[in-house]
Amino acid sequence: MHCAMFEALKISEKSNMKFLKLIALSALCAPLLAFAVDGVAILKKLDRNLEPESYESYRKLINIEPNGNKKEFVLFSVKKGKDQTASVFLQPASDKGRSTLRQGDNMWMYLPSVGKPMRITSLQSITGGVFNNADIMRLDYAQEYDVASVDEADKTYTLHLKAKTAEVAYDKLTMTVDKQLILPVAIEAYASSGMLLKTLHFKDIKDFGAGIKRPAMIETDSPLYKGYKSVMLYSGLKKRDFSDEVFTQGFMPRLEELRK
C-alpha cells in the first residue's frame, strides 16, 4: 500500500515537472511570437508609401524595342480609395483623349473615335509594351493579394503574395521590400504554372512633397519578350480628393477637365 502511494507521488511529481517546463518554454517563446513579422501590415504600409489613397499624378510610359526604338505615352491619372483608378492620354497626339477606367476587377477603355467605353482585360496592354493593363491601372497590392509568407534579411523583407481571386493578373508575386523605407525594390510576377512572367524594378527614390517619398521610376522586363523593356516615370504625384462621379463610364470623355 505504501509502495503504491510512493509510486503515485513520483508520477505526480514528474507530471508537475513536465507542466512547469512547458510553462517555461511558452514564456520564452512568447516574446518571439509577439515580434513575428506582420506581412499584412508591411504590405498595407507599402501601398500607402507608394501612393496616397486618393491622388493625381502624371506618368510617362516608354516602350523600348531591342533595336533601341522607343515609343512614349504621357498619361494623367487619378485614384480614389483602394480599387478605383482612371487615366487619360495626353500624348502622343494620335492617342490624345483616350481614357481608361478601373473599378475593382472591371476595366474599360474609351476611344473618342468610337464614342463609348469598351471592356478590356488585365493581361492586355493599352500601350502595347511589357506593362499590361494591371500594371498601368494598378490597385493596392493588399486589395488583390494575400501574404502567404515573409522572409527577413538584414535590410529587406521578401513577401510571398498569392492572388485572392483568379481575376488577378498574376497568380503569385515575390516582392523584395526595403526594410527601412517600406518600399518595393523588385517584384517578380508569376503565372499559376510557376512561370516567371516579368520582373518590375523600382528605382530613383524621389520626394514628391507632403510626406510622399517613393520610386519615381519602374522598369520591367520579361523572359517572354526578350530584348524589350518598358519604363514608367512618375511626376506631379500629390494627394487629391475626387467625387465618385469621376470614376464612372459617363465621366471618361471628361477626365482631362480634372487637370489644373
Asked if 23 and 110 sit in the same domain, the reply is no
Q: What is the pLDDT of residue 260?
A: 77
Note down the domain range covering 59: 39-258
At 58, which amino acid appears?
A: Y
Q: What is the CATH number of the domain that holds 160?
A: 2.50.20.10
Q: What is the pLDDT of residue 37?
A: 86
Asked if 43 and 23 sit in the same domain, the reply is no
Asked if 134 and 15 sit in the same domain, the reply is no
Distance CA 56, CA 188 (A): 26
- What digits encode the pLDDT tens for the residues 3-51? 444 454 444 555 555 554 554 554 454 444 435 789 999 999 999 999 9
At 181, which amino acid appears?
A: L
Which string of b and e fits 120-156 if b means at least 16 CB within 10 Å?
A: bebeebbbebbbbbbbbbbbbbbbbbebeebeeeeeb
Asked if 181 and 250 sit in the same domain, the reply is yes
Which residues neighbour 96 within 8 Å (Cβ) at sequence distance 6 or greater?
A: 89, 90
The single residue listed with the C-alpha cell 501574404 is: 147
Asked if 22 and 89 sit in the same domain, the reply is no
Q: Confidence band (pLDDT; 50, 70, 90) for 106?
A: very high
Asked if 55 and 135 sit in the same domain, the reply is yes
Nearest alpha-carbon partner for 145 in 173, 104, 176, 122: 173
Asked if 243 and 129 sit in the same domain, the reply is yes
Q: Confidence band (pLDDT; 50, 70, 90) for 115?
A: very high
Average pLDDT value over all residues in the chain: 90
Asked if 128 and 53 sit in the same domain, the reply is yes
Asked if 58 and 13 sit in the same domain, the reply is no
Q: How many domains does the chain divide into? A: 2
Distance CA 103, CA 84 (A): 5
Q: What is the pTM of this model?
A: 0.84
Distance CA 33, CA 27 (A): 10
Distance CA 212, CA 214 (A): 6
Going from the C-alpha of 217 to that of each of 5, 61, 206, 244, 255, the distances in angstroms are 78, 10, 9, 29, 24
E strands, the chain, in order: 55-64, 70-80, 84-91, 99-103, 106-110, 117-120, 145-152, 156-163, 172-178, 183-190, 196-209, 212-221, 229-239
Asked if 104 and 216 sit in the same domain, the reply is yes
166 alpha carbon, distance to own chain's centre: 16
Asked if 110 and 237 sit in the same domain, the reply is yes
Ramachandran sector of residue 202 (left: φ over 0; alpha: ψ -120 to 50; beta: rest)? beta
Asked if 60 and 111 sit in the same domain, the reply is yes
Task: Give φ, ψ of 21 to 5 degrees.
Answer: -65, -40
